[in-house]
Amino acid sequence: MSKTNPGNFFEDFSMGQVIEHATPRTVSRGDVAVYQAVFGPRFAVQSSGQFAEAIGYRQAPIDDLLTFHIVFGKTVPDISLNAIANLGYADCRFLRAVYPGDTLKSVSEVIGLRENSNGKSGVVYVRSSGTNQAGETVLDYVRWVMVRKRDQAAEVGDSVVPDLPNSVPVEVLGAALPKLDLAAYDFTLAGAAHRWGDYKAGEKIDHVDGVTVEEAEHQMATRLYQNTAKAHFNAHAMKEGQFGARLIYGGHVISMARALSFNGLANAFHIAAINGGRHVAPCFAGDTIYAWSEVLAAEPLPGRDDVGGLRLRTIATKDLPCADFPDKLDEKAYADGVLLDLDYWALIPR
């Protein structure tokens, strides 16, 4: 029997199945530096240990999305090696700050399975979580992917589609954020004066800047997370595919849009939850990513007077500046050039 991992096919998954993923990974300031070099984030809390410690962290935490990518990357060889498409995310909550020196691992539970009517594939729903070396959960999220069947004739069980929330309720946000000493939060050093109360539902912010992505950059970032999806790395095989080129990991666009969003959201330094996300179109090397955000809601956090929640939609585009806020056209279609529609909660000082 082959010793190489063929990945799981649709009929290999079963309801309630728990998969512990390889490879555990100790995060370091080296990872933070590579992430910095690829995306250029400027949020003060993650950039400065002194700033983070002053407001209540024990040191500068790593970027929330770096945690997400590392936890996600580990699930790829078991969950999505034979995926046709990554369909969605839901109920993604950041539960604990991650610091350099922490060791992360990931586990997934199959919570839904639905065969497609063509009998060739099916949708697998997994709840994945990342834990640190103390066994504490740092991140928990649901994703669903369309996975090929190995054998079309294989019998599969009844369809189970999990009930997923449209958004993470504000009541559960903030677990990863220490109580902030706001008196020590220096808004000048953080880059902007805007606090929670300055943002209103309906407000739209053009993040202005655009950044071009290079093959070496997205490959280096995606390997940093030990994500092995061949679509991102193998130009020889992808040449024969639908697009004729390597596809950039969707999370790369998320991280770039997040870094760009500093310009307008400088104090919204922590992502507390991702309500959902859609990769509207593929991104390729050479594309220039722009982004804009809409404030969907500004909600207080029960029991906390230090920070409030901003529910944001961040839209990323390619080769399309966002002064006119290119958006969804209807339930299904988006304006040309839109890459990403991400719905999430960020926390920001009050």
Interior angle at CA 68, CA 35 and CA 127, nearest 5: 165
Cβ contact 65:271 at 8 Å: yes
Is 326 an interacting residue with respect to its own copies (CB under 8 A)?
no
In the complex, what is the shortest distance from the CB of residue 78 to its own copies, in angstroms, rounded to a whole number? 10
Is 220 an interacting residue with respect to its own copies (CB under 8 A)?
yes
Cβ contact 70:27 at 8 Å: yes
Nearer to its own copies, 213 or 272 (CB): 213
Is 197 an interacting residue with respect to its own copies (CB under 8 A)?
no
Distance CA 348, CA 52 (A): 14
In the complex, what is the shortest distance from the CB of residue 242 to its own copies, in angstroms, rounded to a whole number? 18
In the complex, what is the shortest distance from the CB of residue 67 to its own copies, in angstroms, rounded to a whole number? 15
Distance CA 318, CA 339 (A): 7
Is 235 an interacting residue with respect to its own copies (CB under 8 A)?
yes
* Residue among 150, 223, 304, 328 that touches its own copies (CB under 8 A): 223
Dihedral, 21, 26, 32, 35 alpha carbons, nearest 10: -30
Which of the stretches 162-170, 171-179, 214-222, 326-334 binds its own copies when contact is defined by CB under 8 A? Answer: 214-222
Which of the stretches 121-129, 137-145, 218-226, 304-312 binds its own copies when contact is defined by CB under 8 A? Answer: 218-226
Q: Which of residues 256-285 bind its own copies (CB under 8 A)?
A: 263-266
Q: How many CB atoms lie within 10 A of CB 14?
A: 10
Q: Which of residues 64-83 bind its own copies (CB under 8 A)?
A: 77
In the complex, what is the shortest distance from the CB of residue 85 to its own copies, in angstroms, rounded to a whole number? 20
The pattern of x and - marking residues 148 through 187 that bind its own copies according to CB under 8 A reads ----------------------------------------
DSSP-assigned letter for residue 301: P
Taking the CA of residue 120 as centre, how many other CA atoms within 13 Å lie in the half-sphere pointing to its CB? Answer: 3
Q: Which of residues 89-108 bind its own copies (CB under 8 A)?
A: 101, 103, 105
Nearer to its own copies, 20 or 305 (CB): 20
Is 319 an interacting residue with respect to its own copies (CB under 8 A)?
yes
Is 247 an interacting residue with respect to its own copies (CB under 8 A)?
no
Is 55 an interacting residue with respect to its own copies (CB under 8 A)?
no
- Tally the residues of the chain: 350
Nearer to its own copies, 202 or 302 (CB): 202
Is 42 an interacting residue with respect to its own copies (CB under 8 A)?
yes
* Residue among 9, 10, 13, 43 that touches its own copies (CB under 8 A): 43
- For every residue of 134-186, DSSP letters joined together read TS-EEEEEEEEEEEE-S-TT------B-----SS--GGGTTTTSPPP-GGG--
Cβ contact 69:31 at 8 Å: no
* Residue among 149, 246, 252, 270 that touches its own copies (CB under 8 A): 246
Nearer to its own copies, 178 or 321 (CB): 321
Distance CA 236, CA 246 (A): 9
Distance CA 303, CA 312 (A): 21
Is 4 an interacting residue with respect to its own copies (CB under 8 A)?
yes
- For every residue of 34-87, DSSP letters joined together read HHHHHH----HHHH-HHHHHHHT-SSPPPPHHHHHHHHHHHHIIIIITTEEEEE
Task: Count the residues of the shown chain that bind its own copies, applying the rule CB under 8 A.
Answer: 77
Cβ contact 257:312 at 8 Å: no
* Residue among 9, 13, 51, 249 that touches its own copies (CB under 8 A): 51
In the complex, what is the shortest distance from the CB of residue 223 to its own copies, in angstroms, rounded to a whole number? 3
Q: Which amino acid is at 91?
A: D
